[in-house]
Structure 1
Amino acid sequence: MYLFPMSDRIEQTKALASEARMKVLDWLKEPLRHFSHQETGDPAEIGVCVTLIADKLGMSQPTVSRHLELLRRADLVEVNRIGRWSFFSRNEAGLSDYRNWLHDNL
């Protein structure tokens, strides 16, 4: 049993159709390796600050926030808000569900 209807699966697929978003998902697999310089807290525990992701991508924060919002709406990342800061991590359950659906339907 899958969590999403087909229309949402199409949106998830679209969310993955971006080199920048794929890089973010890859980096978030190993947040300590890619963002060990985060001073606010352990990136493996609280997620990675959007500012650090923007710096690593070489993009503006508003552009990266849009990319992250698409991934969040697709249930592929989670956001942890602490004060006025947003920290992002992979949503492994959502990624696994999408992976299983893709495997079963291709």
Structure 2
Amino acid sequence: MTDIAPSPDPDLVNALRALSNPMRLQMLQWLRDPELHFPMETAIADPAEVGVCVSHLQAKAGLAQSTVSAYMAELQRAGLVRATRVGKWTHYRRDEQRIADLVTALGRTL
């Protein structure tokens, strides 16, 4: 008799896929403590409340704006970050509750 394992949670798979890219993982780590990693004197919004502007992420990562936007969109689709528009700029911040839920789900799965 063959045991068929249940399929993994698709949300967990999407989150792990998003985190499999080293730069996306690095960006998520930077967003954990934005005051430490990004210049606060040039912020146009509170990084703890609204998030970090994509232009600051771009400058720190040294990547093209389109690449950073694509990376952040992937993290957003995985539910790891939330995006907020401030004027013409997009700001990103971590979704701490979603990250905690995924860590719990990973612990149950493995």
Question: Is 1:96 matched with 2:100?
Answer: yes
Structure 2 residues without counterparts, runs of 5 or longer: 1-7
Cα distance in 1 for partners of 2:34, 2:42 equals 10
Aligned position for 1:33: 36
Question: Is 1:54 matched with 2:52?
Answer: no
Structure 1 residues without counterparts, runs of 5 or longer: none
Deviation of 1:44 (Å): 1.5
Query: Cα deviations across residues 5-60 of structure 1 (Å, max 9, x unaligned)?
Result: 72232111100001111111111111111112433122122200001101101100
The 5 A counterparts of 1:1-106 are 6-35=9-38, 36-106=40-110
> Which residue identity is paired with 1:33?
L
Q: Which one has the bigger helix percentage?
A: 1
The count of corresponding residues between Structure 1 and Structure 2 is: 102
Cα distance in 2 for partners of 1:38, 1:27 equals 17
Aligned-partner SS, 2:30: helix
Cα distance in 1 for partners of 2:52, 2:46 equals 8
Structure with higher Rg: it is: 2
Query: Cα deviations across residues 51-79 of structure 1 (Å, max 9, x unaligned)?
Result: 11011011001000000000000000011
Runs of 4+ aligned structure 1 residues displaced above 2 Å come to: 36-39
Percentage of identical aligned residues: 37
TM-score, normalisation: structure 2: 0.87
